[in-house]
Amino acid sequence: MDLQAVFYIFGIIYMGINILLLLGIVIGILVIVNQVKEAKKKVEEKVNVVKDAVNHPEDLLANIGSSVIRRSVLRFKKRFEKEKKKSEDLDSEED
């Protein structure tokens, strides 16, 4: 092998490494850009939710009110069922 062949081999290896490095950098940049776009969408969605809550507080209050009513009904139902079981147990003990 003469000096020229060694030089060409090193040059080909160097170019191959640089091409792989360049591809890695480009892929890394694309991944970062996609993550930034996704984060931007998420932030915009959350901002829209807050804007809707500010612009239409009656909707927010209606949701809160329905949630409170639903919980109250469930609690009342549970208490009523417990009382019913207690009274049934007492009735069965008396017999």
- pLDDT of residue 7 exceeding 70, the answer is yes
- pLDDT of residue 95 exceeding 60, the answer is no
Q: Which residues contact 53 (CB under 8 A, 6 or more apart)?
A: 59, 60
Tell me the DSSP string of 18-35.
Answer: HHHHHHHHHHHHHHHHHH
Q: What is the pLDDT of residues 55-86, one digit of tens each?
A: 877 777 788 888 888 898 888 888 888 877 77
Q: What is the pLDDT of residues 9-54, one digit of tens each?
A: 999 999 999 999 999 999 999 999 999 999 999 999 999 888 887 7
Question: Is there a contact between 52 and 44 (Cβ–Cβ < 8 Å)?
Answer: no
Question: Is there a contact between 60 and 53 (Cβ–Cβ < 8 Å)?
Answer: yes
Residues in the chain: 95
Q: Which tokens sit at 62?
A: 């209606």
